[in-house]
Amino acid sequence: MRKSLKTKLRNKELILGSWVTIGHTSVVEIMAKAGFDFLTVDMEHSSITLYQAAQLVQVIDLAGVSPLVRVGENNANLIKRVMDAGAHGVIVPLVNSKEDAQKAVESVKYPPIGKRGVGLTRAQGYGTNFENYKKWVEDESVVIVQIEHIEAVNNLEEIISVDGVDGFIIGPYDLSGSLGRPGEFDHPSVIEALEKVKRVALNSKISSGFHVVTSDESKVIEKLDEGYNFLAYSLDILFLGDRCREGVSKIKRMQSLDKE
């Protein structure tokens, strides 16, 4: 029997996923067949609408892959709606404090654990499966907090101590930006912040994650060697663009050589 994403997170097993920013079902269907454990529909830095997100979640789910949604903000109404659409969990951006983490958990969970309102849509079997879904939410729904600000790094131990937080994931670009060094991953202040995260992660019982934005797979291996187990590997537009550029460049180089 296939292990759930929740079980893998709890056991700190290797979990490999990717990021989706193109709101077309064919994209996620192709990616879901690549062997990823999860796919994250990005509603923060893309033009994907709630309607499109619901369609993408459905396709990912039916393909046997865990659909997550990176919501645009720590907003209870938005989180409730993507969960009702059938997301297995959410990745919540800019969680900088224990209170932020508690709010995220409460938005996913029903009372008495959380504050989520009850709707009867796809996740609840369109009104036919609420009791089973209620149990599933309690046992299997996933809350990942995104650590992407130096304030979050400084509060990391408190953030991940919140009951219901299943893991965290580093957003490297925004983290470096919060230090005034966007994209400068070799800057001493950025390196220091990431080293602090790793020290906390080593002593943590929850899964630690990192979004490796580049499509260079060796960078994923580097993060595995550093102790991260919940890895988001690149995103749809880079996989597509990098492969196009690589192929075109190779063809043009070979053509130039033939003419010499």
Q: Is 63 helix (H, G, I), strand (E, B) or coil?
A: coil
Do 5 and 37 touch, CB atoms closer than 8 A?
A: yes
Measuring CA to CA, which residue among 203, 204, 147 is closest to residue 172? Answer: 147
> In sequence order, what are the beta bridge partners of 66?
38
Measuring CA to CA, which residue among 92, 198, 220 is closest to residue 148? Answer: 92
Find the catalytic residue in 45, 88, 187, 211.
45
CA–CA gap between residue 21 and residue 237 (Å, rounded): 7
Q: What are phi and psi of 173, to 5 degrees?
A: -70, -50
Do 168 and 209 touch, CB atoms closer than 8 A?
A: yes
**211 catalytic per annotation:** no
Instruction: Name every residue whose Cβ is closer than 8 Å to that of residue 50 and which is 6 or more positions away in sequence.
Output: 43, 78, 81, 82, 85
User: CA-based angle 175:96:162, to the nearest 5?
Assistant: 130
CA–CA gap between residue 17 and residue 235 (Å, rounded): 9
Q: Which residues are catalytic?
A: 45
